[in-house]
Amino acid sequence: MVTANNELAYNSKIEGDVVVTQADAAINWLRSNSMWPMPMGLACCAIELMAVASSRYDIARFGAEVMRFSPRQSDCMIVAGTVTYKMATAVRRIYDQMAAPKWVIAMGACASTGGMYRSYATLQGVDRIIPVDVYVSGCPPRPEALLDALMKLQHKVKRERSASQLFRA
Amino acid sequence: MSINAALIASAQGRFPNATERASADHTALNIPADEAMLCLEYFRDAQDFNFLVDVTAIDWSAEQSPRFTVVWHLYSSLTHSYVRVAANCVNDGEPTMASATALWPAADWHERETFDMFGIKFTGHPDLRRILMWEGYPYFPLRKEFPLAGLPADLPDFEVAAETGTRLISAPMAGGPFVAGQGEPMSEAEPRAKDEAWSEQNPKG
């Protein structure tokens, strides 16, 4: 005989090992809390990026501690530093090699706009060559600023319609 | 006779065409381009200047002739002194200079950089390619007529250029160049535009 479930909380004795949720919520929860960065360290911002990964700031608290130097295994490219035109094509190729879904953080003034390098050799903002999700100001930004950017990116990912885009090319 | 004057006198004894070059620091002399390698060899073997510190060049602008001067900086690890040798390139339009790679292998990348930035061809160089900019870049950035902001050109990778539609642009100077002021407090010394009255939206009048 089946009894009515009057409990408000989840009870594994009744519902078994099943949690009911929405596909978007589940996928976005997985993605946003396990965002493996591709550390595109090109200049001094990369030093701050290393500090973010180290014990004092500890990006592991946000599930992004696994710096992958292989684009195949990473979700979020952190462009940390000055992008020269010569390097820009390599940045774009590495971005192309990352498996979707993928995101980009432009860390610091140089990656965002070219910064103080108004010169013949410097790409005037990495968004001229790859789509950027979050821009971080600063020269270089404080580690907290990069953590804030990661949290902003997590909020953005949590609002995505992931399930409907899951099987799109 | 000072050490500088003695060094120049001994070099002039060997190379009568060498002249003393105005210098605020180290011994310096000018030498005709065709004697430059012999002169460098003389400094290396006879005067113990065994270390090639730098090879660079000067562009005196298109109105000047001779337009380009190649400069070598030599260091002696025995006497701990420097000497600077300069030679004017003979041809202003297609400047050339003999390569010092036979004397110092270290000259290889210095000469590639000088070629990259000034377009001076070093004859006898084993592998004269661009070193900072990429093969196919159409300009020589340290020439006087080349603007700091750069000139439009194509990206080095045509596939990426086709995919992104991005080209090299003249960088928006927006009041720059961005330089740190001298004599300012440290808090004000950060590089910034000196003339912030104009921007991309509000061009300089």
- Could you tell me the pLDDT band of residue B134, with boundaries at 50, 70 and 90? very high
* Count of beta carbons in the 10 Å neighbourhood of residue B111: 27
Mean pLDDT across the stretch A104-132?
92
For residue B204, pLDDT beyond 70: no
Cα–Cα–Cα angle for B60, B62, B64, rounded to 5 degrees: 55
Q: How confident is the model at residue B124 (pLDDT cuts 50, 70, 90)?
A: very high
Per cent of chain B over pLDDT 90 is: 69
Q: Which residue of A has its CA nearest to B163?
A: A129
Give the span between the Cα atoms of A134 and A125, in whole angstroms.
Answer: 13
Higher-scoring residue by pLDDT: B203, A96: A96
pLDDT at A88: 94
- Mutation test of the interface with chain B: which of A44, A83, A85, choosing the one with the most B Cβ atoms within 10 A? A85
pLDDT-derived band at B203, boundaries 50, 70, 90: low
**What is the percent of chain A where pLDDT is above 70?**
92
Q: What is the pLDDT of residues B24-67, one digit of tens each?
A: 989 999 999 999 999 999 999 999 999 999 999 999 999 988 99
- Decide if B149 and A128 are in contact by the 8 Å CB cutoff: no
Q: How many CB pairs under 8 A join A and B?
A: 63
- The ranges assigned to domains in chain B are 3-132, 141-171, 174-205
What is the pLDDT at residue B200? 66
Among partner residues A86, A114, A129, which is closest to B134 by beta-carbon distance? Answer: A86
Helices (H), chain A: 12-15, 23-32, 45-53, 85-97, 108-113, 143-158
Tell me the pLDDT of chain A averaged across its residues: 89
What residues of chain A, 83 to 142, have a C-beta less than 8 Å from chain B? Answer: 85-86, 88-89, 92-93, 96, 114, 116-122, 124, 128-130
pTM for this one? 0.83
Classify domain A37-157 by CATH number.
3.40.50.12280
Greatest Cα pair distance in chain B:
67
Cβ(B68)–Cβ(B95) under 8 Å? yes
Residue A19 confidence class, pLDDT cut points 50, 70, 90: confident
CATH class of B3-132: alpha beta
What is the percentage of chain A residues whose pLDDT exceeds 90? 71
Q: Is the pLDDT of residue B196 over 90?
A: no
Give the pLDDT score at A100.
Answer: 85
Q: If you measure CA to CA, which chain A residue comes closest to B140? A: A120
The whole-angstrom separation of Cα B197 and Cα A154 is 38
Distance from the B50 Cα atom to the nearest Cα atom in chain A, whole angstroms: 34
Contact residues, chain A, for B165 at CB < 8 Å: none
Using a CB-CB distance cutoff of 8 angstroms, which residues of chain A are in contact with residue B149?
118-120
Is the CB of residue B9 less than 8 Å from the CB of residue B1? yes
How close is the nearest chain B Cα to the Cα of A9, in Å? 51
Give the minimum alpha-carbon distance from B132 to chain A in angstroms, rounded to a whole number.
Answer: 8
A1's CB contacts (< 8 A; 6+ apart) are none
Give the distance from residue B143's alpha carbon to the nearest chain A alpha carbon, in angstroms. 13
Is there a contact between B69 and B60 (Cβ–Cβ < 8 Å)?
A: yes
Reported ipTM: 0.81
Determine whether the interchain pair B155/A114 forms a contact, defined as Cβ–Cβ distance below 8 Å: no
Asked if B141 lies within 8 A of A121 by C-beta distance, the reply is yes
Residue positions counted in chain A: 169
Work out the pLDDT band at A8, boundaries 50, 70, 90: low
Q: What is the pLDDT of residue B75?
A: 95
